[in-house]
Amino acid sequence: MNFIHLVQNELTKMLKKRRFHVVLAILFVLMAVFSYAEHQASIQVTKQLGTADWHVHVQKQITHDANRLKSPFLTGTESAVIKAQMSEFQYELNHNIDPYAPGAPSFMKTFMDEGSLLLIPMLVVVIASDMVSSEMSGGTIKVLLTRGVPRWKVLASKLVALVFLTAMLIGAVGLSAYVVSGIFFGYQGFHLPIPMGFHTLANGTISVTHVYTITQWKYLIMTYGLGFISSLAVAVLSFMVSVLVRSTASSMGIMMAALISGTLLTSLASSWQTAKYLPVVNLQLSTYLNGSPPPVAGMNFSFSMVILTVWSIAALAVSFWVFTQRDILG
């Protein structure tokens, strides 16, 4: 049995599973809910301000953020995030860039920027958590092994299939976001300018010296590409847990707990320097595009990429070593 046939076999099995279809259904339902909620929120803001002029909306947001900075309960990271947001709003106001311009591409951008921290990784976990564990518990893995197929080749075919499935999921996120949100906001906006290049200085101020703009379709390619990279890291870690744990439920539970813990660490323990070496804290790669402060001081794009790469390589090494050494046929 050649390798390509093994990969095709794995893809066919996964695509036929109800689990994958449920994930796609969840995606479209969530897109409808979030699109409707954002549409209603924009209507409510317009009513409160008494105008649809985005300049008024941005100025109101800057004033609101300035008032929030006066709170004595803000952490250093929270203050940095607010300052970065204020700087971006002020730049957009000065250069006549509407950050609230309606359109499906704008919704796609927002969804990936926000969803890459927890929601999208959780969907990846649902798909990847039973790649090996379900066949181990069901005994179907023995069928392939008794045909004389090397263990490493069986596991490698599952890994390649998982890469394809992760890419398909990211594509489904973009497609569903565009199709569903376009019903509420229209399908225009691919050529809107998006500011990039904001930089947080050591003293906490935001530098706009090197800020430039790119068209939104280019930004979408970058942010969805980075979303794929972070999702692939989650998929590989889930793959390792699936090899180590024979129960799909346990595998999924472990990864869900890890993702939620990472989210809590990002918001509650930003001063804990060791947290930046955990993969779940480095998932939101797209935040580096717009210059948002990192969740933990000392992090940057290169650092996060190295952390995700090292953890992924280690997870693959553990997966292949355990799978080739474990007594499966017994």
What per-residue confidence (pLDDT) applies to 35? 95
Residue 262 pLDDT grade (very low, low, confident, very high; cuts 50, 70, 90): confident
- pLDDT tens figures, 172-189: 999 999 999 999 999 999
Q: Dump the DSSP string for 152-198.
A: HHHHHHHHHHHHHHHHHHHHHHHHHHHHHHHHHH-S--TT-EEEE--
**Which one, of 146, 149, 153, 320, lies nearest residue 242 by Cα?**
320
What's the structural domain count of the chain?
Answer: 1
Angle between helix 119-128 and helix 104-115 axes, rounded to 10 deg = 70
What per-residue confidence (pLDDT) applies to 136? 65
Q: Is pLDDT at 157 greater than 60 in this prediction?
A: yes
Q: Are 197 and 267 in contact (CB under 8 A)?
A: no
Q: Which residue carries 């008024």 as its tokens?
A: 56
What per-residue confidence (pLDDT) applies to 307? 96
For the chain, give the percent of residues with pLDDT over 90.
49
What per-residue confidence (pLDDT) applies to 18? 86
Q: Are 131 and 239 in contact (CB under 8 A)?
A: yes
What per-residue confidence (pLDDT) applies to 39? 92
Q: Are 86 and 60 in contact (CB under 8 A)?
A: no
What per-residue confidence (pLDDT) applies to 169? 96
Q: What mean pLDDT is predicted for residues 264-281?
A: 81
- pLDDT tens figures, 131-142: 887 766 655 666
User: 133: domain range?
Assistant: 3-325
- pLDDT tens figures, 198-221: 877 766 677 778 889 999 999 999
What per-residue confidence (pLDDT) applies to 328? 61
What per-residue confidence (pLDDT) applies to 3? 86
- Average pLDDT across the chain, whole number: 87
Residue 232 pLDDT grade (very low, low, confident, very high; cuts 50, 70, 90): very high
- pLDDT tens figures, 282-316: 998 998 888 778 888 788 899 999 999 999 999 99
Report the relative pairing of strands 193-196 and 212-215 from DSSP bridges: antiparallel
Residue 227, in any domain of the structure? yes
Q: Is pLDDT at 147 greater than 70 in this prediction?
A: no
- pLDDT tens figures, 105-127: 999 999 999 899 889 999 999 99
What per-residue confidence (pLDDT) applies to 143? 61
Residue 330, in any domain of the structure? no
Residue 106, in any domain of the structure? yes
Q: How far apart, in whole angstroms, are the C-alpha atoms of residue 265 and residue 325?
A: 35
Q: How far apart, in whole angstroms, are the C-alpha atoms of residue 192 and residue 109?
A: 12
Residue 53, in any domain of the structure? yes
